């Protein structure tokens, strides 16, 4: 009898929790993007939002919270209620912050859980047209002839564009001046204006500008040429076969979010990514759709991705300025 009373009390509570999870979602879902509007994460999410809204039966309220290399937005979600109604959509930058030893108010492994990867965004090396460069070899020759005089943009210290160019500089053996910005769109605007010489920018942001001939593409960090831009050489064709630098664009949730909710989000996202019109919408940005991700697969992918960037940061002696 002493055991029966607690079980009787907890039984309805457990049933209520299960019912709440099975009814998920029954209100709008806030998705925090810790990057400015127009960046690759923002673009990728907005491309799938209409179909995901229909699949889940609730709108996704996209909330751009840029700043501190993504940390401001990340922290909002890390401290949110783990009920599936506040999610994070971000990139490999979460690993890069760890790689450079950035001081953060949250712990990625403890406070956030990987949900599903949406796509990979290749990085494209672009140069200012005024330099009249034909390929990466031209850039390297120019930089070696003018050590420390050329400049390169990034979306901020420790950002994907920063660590990618450091990977390139290390392999190419060149010296140049780093000019950090608050995001890829801002960095690219100064690139177009000719204030910086070169820049690694994600494909989603780069392709429209490349098509307008406002920057000169030198190579893309993929093993095969992009369907949308077949004239851009691959990393191997440019002489850097081991330079893998694509960034994941993915969902995270607060730690403690019930597994049935994570599974429902994952299934909905993967279903949407298989839709022909979503594939067509992603194509102009050269986003490589995942579509087979799961929390478990994504967690393993994160570990592999992190080890790559930890090595890059260590080899280039990149440390947080915090």
CB-based contact 260:19 (threshold 8 Å): no
Q: What is the pLDDT of residues 108-123, one digit of tens each?
A: 999 999 999 999 999 9
Q: What is the pLDDT of residues 48-107, one digit of tens each?
A: 999 999 999 999 999 999 888 889 999 999 999 999 999 999 999 999 999 999 999 999
pLDDT band at residue 167 under the 50/70/90 scheme: very high
pTM score of the predicted model? 0.85
pLDDT at 181 over 90: no
Q: At what angle do helices 259-273 and 295-315 cross, to 10 degrees?
A: 80
The position carrying tokens 């607690």 is 6
If you ran DSSP here, which 8-state letter would residue 131 be given?
Answer: G
pLDDT band at residue 21 under the 50/70/90 scheme: low
Q: What is the pLDDT of residues 189-211, one digit of tens each?
A: 888 899 999 999 988 888 888 98
The pLDDT value recorded for residue 294 is: 84
Tell me the three state secondary structure of residue 261: helix
Helices (H), the chain: 4-22, 40-56, 71-78, 93-99, 108-111, 136-145, 160-172, 184-192, 203-211, 259-273, 276-282, 295-315
How would you classify residue 103: left for phi > 0, otherwise alpha for psi between -120 and 50, otherwise beta?
A: beta
């Amino acid at each position: 009898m002493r055991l029966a009373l607690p079980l009787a009390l907890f039984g309805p509570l457990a049933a209520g929790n299960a019912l709440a999870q099975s009814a998920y979602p029954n209100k709008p879902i806030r998705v925090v993007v810790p990057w400015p509007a127009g960046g690759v994460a923002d673009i990728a999410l907005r491309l799938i939002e209409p179909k995901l809204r229909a699949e889940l039966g609730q709108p996704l309220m996209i909330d751009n919270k840029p700043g501190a290399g993504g940390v401001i937005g990340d922290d909002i979600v890390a401290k949110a209620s783990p009920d599936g109604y506040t999610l994070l959509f971000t990139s490999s930058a979460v690993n890069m912050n760890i790689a450079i030893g950035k001081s953060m108010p949250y712990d990625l492994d403890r406070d956030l859980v990987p949900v599903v990867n949406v796509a990979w965004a290749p990085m494209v090396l672009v140069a200012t047209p005024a330099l009249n460069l034909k390929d990466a070899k031209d850039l390297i020759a120019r930089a070696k002839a003018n050590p420390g005089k050329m400049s390169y943009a990034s979306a901020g210290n420790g950002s994907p564009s920063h660590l990618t160019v450091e990977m390139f500089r290390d392999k190419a053996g060149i010296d140049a001046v780093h000019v950090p910005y608050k995001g890829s769109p801002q960095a690219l605007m100064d690139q177009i204006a000719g204030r910086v010489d070169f820049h690694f920018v994600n494909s989603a942001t780069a392709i429209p500008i490349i098509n307008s001939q406002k920057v000169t593409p030198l190579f893309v960090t993929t093993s095969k040429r992009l369907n949308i831009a077949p004239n851009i050489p691959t990393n191997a064709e440019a002489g850097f076969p081991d330079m893998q630098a694509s960034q994941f664009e993915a969902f995270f949730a607060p730690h403690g979010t019930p597994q049935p909710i994570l599974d429902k989000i994952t299934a909905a996202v993967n279903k949407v990514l298989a839709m022909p019109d979503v594939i067509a919408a992603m194509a102009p940005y050269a986003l490589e759709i995942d579509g087979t991700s799961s929390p478990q697969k994504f967690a393993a992918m994160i570990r592999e991705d992190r080890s790559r960037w930890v090595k890059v940061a260590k080899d280039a002696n990149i440390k947080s300025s915090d």
